[in-house]
Amino acid sequence: MALKQKTVWVCTSCGNESLKWMGRCPACGEWNTMVEEKVVTGRGGSSRGSMTVPGSSHKPMPLADIDTSQDSRISLNNAEVDRILGGGIVEGSLVLIGGEPGIGKSTLSLQIPLHCKSLRTLYVTGEESVRQVKLRAVRLGGDDSDCLIYSETLMENILDEAKKIMPDLMIVDSVQTVYTQTIESSPGSVSQIKECAALLLRFAKETGVPVILIGHITKEGSIAGPKVLEHIVDVVLQFEGDNRGTYRLLRSIKNRFGSTSELAVFEMTGKGLHEVSNPSEMLIPMHEEGLSGVAVSAMMDGTRPFLIEVQALVSSAAYGTPQRSATGFDVRRLNMLLAVLEKRAGFRLSVKDVFLNMAGGLRVSDPACDLAVICAVLSSNFDFAIPPDTCFAGEVGLSGEIRPVSQIDRRIIEAQRLGFRKMYISAFGSPDNVPEGIEVIKVGDVPALCRSLFPK
């Protein structure tokens, strides 16, 4: 069959192909995501066979006869990374790490081989020269005797060197810079990313060498390239946080070998990313006692409890129209909570400016922070300081009721461990066990909270 070349339009969001350009993708509905690609059809022109994972030639066998004892994990000598991966990286797995520029993707990927002795690593860099990687390695410190640096972007050369070396771990920085000769398009295109990821997946499954891919993200915050890239890989990790700040969050979006509820916290220092084993210590109050407008919330991110300081400032509107500003919190939810305070509890906040801030630069989405937000706003409004040994966990409904939240026992234990003596929760939920040294106060609605917390 003769080879033919044709032009198709591919959606960068879902990978759907079309013979003509369309402003909106007919498959996923996204706008302005169709890009032009040249594909070769006919025998030998398409390498779609590389998408097949090795093992498809095996005969069907009963599920009970499949042996999983050989699926071992490799420790990366980083407690936070090992925990978010489910106990270490699985042999033959393909891991994708995404994040904004300067967030710490390359730093973390280079720290792993430098601080993990006896782990022979092939570090493929397509964005930097070997000299640039060496300068960063000197700054990070560690043992570089088993870390091999290879500056290459052609996928065929990368796989040839990897098969010769047979490392314990291979890192590719980044997947948007590598390309294969079987596809006639530029690096970073939809077809190139899809094909290169498929080749790396085949290499990982055939040899058992785990591969870590570094990926770019779009301006919307999603990983750049086709959505099929996230389907191909086994694990998807994404960095979050302000790159101008010091703290970074590594969140698990997809994990075929563990839970997606895990969260790793790092602090960016001059010598790389430092593990934060107890994030609550960096988020609880770090100021003198007696300040108003401050409340501590016992929140959960996945399965990990945090105690975070909520700061509020309420002042008279100086410019006629009241301002509503929230940093690290949904401003629409803030407006809803202020409306509940005015309608259900009788506080006139519609003529006042309200500013809200979550300490540490974190973005909070746990509804259990509603109670702490209300208390911080009322504390600033009354200019009354909440006792520093008091924390809160509860969701506020539109009728002013305080609703129970999930995993309340873990929140109470974390608060007691950090020295808190009182904790306000919903009256409609009951914890199983309350540890000694902390008093749990149950309140049913916002007026009951005000009567219990603030003096008349």
Q: What residue type is 293 in one-letter code?
A: G
Residue 87 marked as a ligand binder: no
Residue 100 marked as a ligand binder: yes
Residue 86 marked as a ligand binder: no
- Rounded CA gap, 364 and 354, in Å? 18
C-alpha triplet 107, 111, 113: angle, nearest 5°: 135
Helix (H, G, I), strand (E, B) or coil at 57: coil
Helix (H, G, I), strand (E, B) or coil at 117: coil
CB distance 98 to 217 below 8 Å: yes
Q: What residue type is 148 in one-letter code?
A: L
Positive or negative CA dihedral for 88, 89, 95, 98?
Answer: positive
Phi-psi region for residue 110, left (φ > 0), alpha (ψ -120 to 50) or beta? alpha
Residue 104 marked as a ligand binder: yes
- Rounded CA gap, 16 and 28, in Å? 8
CA 263 vs. chain centroid, Å, equals 7
CB distance 193 to 226 below 8 Å: yes
> Burial code of 345-359, b = ≥16 C-beta within 10 A, e = fewer?
bebebeebbbbbbbb
Q: Is the peptide bond before 379 cis (omega within 30 degrees of 0)?
A: no
User: Tokens 């997947």 identify what position?
Assistant: 175
Residue 102 marked as a ligand binder: yes
Residue 98 marked as a ligand binder: no
> Burial code of 5-24, b = ≥16 C-beta within 10 A, e = fewer?
eeebbbbbbbbbeeeeeeee
Enumerate the H helices of 298-407 as residue ranges.
Answer: 331-344, 370-382
Residue 106 marked as a ligand binder: yes
Helix (H, G, I), strand (E, B) or coil at 134: helix
Residue 430 marked as a ligand binder: no
- Rounded CA gap, 408 and 416, in Å? 12
C-alpha triplet 436, 367, 352: angle, nearest 5°: 110
Binding residues for ATP are 99-106
- Which residues line the annotated binding site? 99-106
